[in-house]
Amino acid sequence: MTATALDDDATAPAGSDDLLSLRLWLQLMKCGKTVEAAAGGQLHREHRQSLARFDVLSQLHRLGGGWQTVGDVADAVMASSGNITSLLDRMAADGLVRRRANPADRRSHQIAMTDAGRALFGRMAGGHARWIGDALDGVSERDKKRLIELLVKVRRSVENAASPEPSGS
Amino acid sequence: MTATALDDDATAPAGSDDLLSLRLWLQLMKCGKTVEAAAGGQLHREHRQSLARFDVLSQLHRLGGGWQTVGDVADAVMASSGNITSLLDRMAADGLVRRRANPADRRSHQIAMTDAGRALFGRMAGGHARWIGDALDGVSERDKKRLIELLVKVRRSVENAASPEPSGS
DNA sequence: CCTATTTATCTTACATGTAAGATATTTACA
DNA sequence: TGTAAATATCTTACATGTAAGATAAATAGG
């Protein structure tokens, strides 16, 4: 008996490389879900905030906390335009961020943290980094460095397969 | 300028190991999101189905496609009880799965694929494995094997930190 | 047998995500 | 200039996720 749900499917085509890729994909999804659930649970228990909100505050914290466009924030946290709108609406309703019209482009809106948002992020960030350090305590420094490199390779491969560069760019 | 949003936070505490862990966490989240969005997009384009539905069908396909309890399916796809209920409701409304009372335990319900669900899964599985193989084509076989091992290590570390085993089990 | 606890699922409320398309504005160009 | 295309955000509809607690049935202990 194997660890995957797909490895014996009659319509499966190619060689053993597809099977290895499938196993990698399954482990990546499983690991990602596990880490995300654990980290999200920690943020919810300690601060009643979601990972998505923490990501937005982290991005707004970068570059000194100045105004950033909605699109820049959406790209940074990998949220769709429809999604970031409602997320920022709720965060603004909770007094964590505020909007203003972009003075340079009237199509565009900008976002920044409020004082309350900055204070909340200050309380969250240190504890979150410490929690992650504890959670990854069972992984050696060498393995962490190798993993970071390999994860970047995977991401590049997937992004490249999704929209391959024309050969002469 | 660095790659993270947190590395210069004044409240951050410990040594360089927390920073390395933070970088690993960021890459893991980013890689997971990228791969999930790409795979989900492929399933939506080709079959108008979500990754969550594909996961459920994969799990039901295991063990020969017989009846499984709602709880077993929920555990396998890492869904909460409230979540799996509505997901299975929609899949049942689309004629992909069906429910029955568990003859051995009247608290429990069981789930199996319908013929339509089995047919849909057959069409999805091969193409999905092939798509994943293409997407991970830029990663060497050796790197894939190392990554699988390392991801399992990470997951074990996080699970262990979340609920550490008592010393003598 | 009776009651308390545990277990399995469902219900409700709400947060977060995608998809598709509307709106307003800017940009490119004939 | 005028018009088409691109861009940035928002709106709407709906799918998927969590949290908290209700419900029903099984189980444990008296």
Question: E-strand spans in B107-149?
Answer: 109-113
Say what the pLDDT of residue B15 is: 55
Closest nt by CA–C1' to B82: C10
- pLDDT mean for each 10 residues of chain A (169 residues): 40 63 96 96 96 98 92 97 98 97 96 97 94 95 97 95 58
Give the mean pLDDT of B50-56: 98
| Distance of B82 CA from D19 C1′ (whole Å) | 9
Is residue B169 predicted with pLDDT exceeding 50?
A: no
What's the pTM?
0.88
Are A158 and B143 an interchain contact pair (Cβ–Cβ within 8 Å)? no
Closest nt by CA–C1' to B55: D16
When CB atoms are compared, the residue of B6, B126, B135 closest to A9 is B126
Say what the pLDDT of residue A16 is: 63
Are A28 and B9 an interchain contact pair (Cβ–Cβ within 8 Å)? no
Is residue B16 predicted with pLDDT exceeding 90?
A: no
Say what the pLDDT of residue B19 is: 86
In contact, A147 and B36? CB cutoff 8 Å: no
Is residue B11 predicted with pLDDT exceeding 70?
A: no
- Rounded to whole angstroms, the Cα distance separating B21 from A131 reads 10
Q: Residue A81 half-sphere exposure, CB side, CA atoms within 13 Å?
A: 4
| Distance of A109 CA from C25 C1′ (whole Å) | 12
What single letter denotes the amino acid at residue B14? Answer: A
- Rounded to a whole number of angstroms, the distance from the CA of B119 to the nearest CA of chain A is 11
Q: Is the CB of B47 under 7 A from strand C?
A: no
Kindly indicate the confidence band of residue B3, based on its pLDDT and cuts at 50, 70 and 90: very low
| Distance of A87 CA from C10 C1′ (whole Å) | 28
Residue A144 phi/psi, 5-degree rounding, is -60, -45
Say what the pLDDT of residue B164 is: 65
